[in-house]
Structure 1
Amino acid sequence: MKFQLYLIYVYTILIVSCKGNSQDKTPPAPQKEIQPKEVISKDGFKRAYFASGCFWCVEAIYENTKGVKEAISGYSGGHTKNPTYESSNTGRTGHAEAVEVIYNPKIISFEKLIDIYFATQNPTQVNGQGPDHGSQYRSIIFYQNKEQKDIIDQKKTALSKKINRKIAAEILPFQKFWIAEDYHQDYEKKHPYNRYILNVSVPRLKKLQNKFPDLVKKRH
């Protein structure tokens, strides 16, 4: 009798458990789409944000582009506050080394900045550029509004068709840019004979000079 009661008990538990599991299969509510944050123009200058390998390289490329007032190295695209070079290099913050480009839209357009972006990197390399590997070196183009996103989408699709390869760059809504440590700023300019600068940054800068000679600032 006790054994029969035990079987009834176990059977009841199994039925209740199965019902509970079936309820757990309800699909989760869709996550709210992250909306981009737009940076307000100041004194006629706009800001654009790019990640493509080491920020020393990207900063040097845009610093030498006509119409760009300044390029600043930093971090973006992650989920932590106040990222540092050390923390971002762990790959656990989600941040990539990025650059803030402050430009005059009357001299150079956002579209042309995108052209320069793709032309000065290996667009098919995933999670890095050249010798730099890891999610902190991945390629990202950040958009601040629908117009920018449409431009990026069109450029990326056109390039993919042209080379018949998948383009690695992510397209993400801009949220926040964190300025990097002082010693990272203007690194190519301050350390022209650094081995990394000579072997990695300079070749990327030469791509700008070769492909867009009319857009290169005269260096003093």
Structure 2
Amino acid sequence: MKKIIPLFVLALLFSCQNTAQDKSKQQAVINADPIEVPIKNGKARAYFASGCFWCVEAIYESVKGVEESISGYSGGYTKNPTYGASNTGRTGHAEAVEIIYDPKIVSFETLVDVYFGSQNVTQVNGQGNDRGSQYRSIIFYQNEEQKQIILKKKAVLAKELGVKIAAEVYPFQKFWIAEDYHQNYEKLHPNHPYIKNVSIPRLNRFKSKFPELLKREP
């Protein structure tokens, strides 16, 4: 996907369907009770998976009320997942982001709108050329209220568009922070081919759709 090798070569390496997931272990994750992350210093946390975390991190950091977006892994059944391990599809995890936000400024409901409004909602196991279970779309809920918000918005969107929405809905269990070199990647590497050709266009498409949600430019 995104390492320092040509984009198309890497796409060939990782464009598998990753059917090697352990279905029983994955089902146990889906059936688990959600874990609620307490508000700390007035800030709440939300978790989303939507393809490459470089792209998603930058999108959420452009939104008013979002303090920080952290890249990592979630939704799987192995401990201490790494980038290399998650790319095999055998950990169950997807590339995800932890969104630290001020609920007085931006609601969880709006963050879900950002989620659906910044991706191809019909693509299964990936976004664009990033394909495989590690790039699948997942929205994580921490309580019943969040779950119902997600399910309602997903149903409304499916009816409006007349399509099946690919995003899975998982109870949040744990977020594993990705390696340091993945953090703030778009900001730190604006000339990387993947960033120029994939991340930035995706970010700009989101900005054009939701100008009212954007932070003011410094």
TM-score where L is the length of structure 1: 0.84
Q: Separation in 1 of the partners of 2:130 and 2:217?
A: 27
Q: 3-state DSSP class of the match of 1:165?
A: coil
Aligned to 1:116: 114
Structure 2: runs of 5 or more not aligned:
1-27
What's the offset of the Cα at 1:56?
0.2
CA RMSD, 1 decimal:
1.2
1:132-166 alpha-carbon deviations (Å, 9 max, x no partner): 00000000000000000000000000000011000
TM-score where L is the length of structure 2: 0.85
Q: 3-state DSSP class of the match of 2:207?
A: helix
Aligned to 2:163: 165
Q: 3-state DSSP class of the match of 1:70?
A: strand
Q: Separation in 2 of the partners of 1:219 and 1:89?
A: 35
What's the offset of the Cα at 1:204?
1.4
Q: Separation in 2 of the partners of 1:95 and 1:191?
A: 25
Residues 3-152 of structure 1 correspond to what in structure 2 (within 5 A)? 33-152=31-150
What's the offset of the Cα at 1:98?
0.2
Q: 3-state DSSP class of the match of 1:41?
A: coil
Aligned to 1:27: none
1:108-132 alpha-carbon deviations (Å, 9 max, x no partner): 0111101110011000000000110
Q: Separation in 1 of the partners of 2:139 and 2:165?
A: 12
Aligned to 1:192: 190
Aligned to 1:12: none
Kindly provide the amino acid, as one letter, of the partner of residue 64 in structure 1: S
Q: Separation in 2 of the partners of 1:33 and 1:118?
A: 23
1:13-48 alpha-carbon deviations (Å, 9 max, x no partner): xxxxxxxxxxxxxxxxxx894100000000111000
What's the offset of the Cα at 1:207?
2.2
Kindly provide the amino acid, as one letter, of the partner of residue 199 in structure 2: S
Q: Separation in 2 of the partners of 1:218 and 1:56?
A: 21
What's the offset of the Cα at 1:214?
1.7
Q: 3-state DSSP class of the match of 2:195?
A: helix
Segments of 4+ moved more than 4 angstroms = none
Aligned to 2:177: 179
What's the offset of the Cα at 1:177?
0.2
Q: Separation in 1 of the partners of 2:183 and 2:74?
A: 16
Kindly provide the amino acid, as one letter, of the partner of residue 63 in structure 1: E
Contact kept, 8 Å, 1:72 with 1:179, in 2: the verdict is yes
Residue 212, structure 1, aligned to residue 214, structure 2: no
Q: Separation in 1 of the partners of 2:78 and 2:31?
A: 19
Q: 3-state DSSP class of the match of 1:200?
A: helix
Kindly provide the amino acid, as one letter, of the partner of residue 84 in structure 2: E
Aligned to 1:7: none
Count of aligned pairs: 190
Q: Separation in 2 of the partners of 1:68 and 1:131?
A: 28
What's the offset of the Cα at 1:209?
1.1
Q: Separation in 2 of the partners of 1:93 and 1:146?
A: 26
Q: Which has the larger radius of gyration?
A: 1
Contact kept, 8 Å, 1:119 with 1:207, in 2: the verdict is no
Structure 1: runs of 5 or more not aligned:
1-30
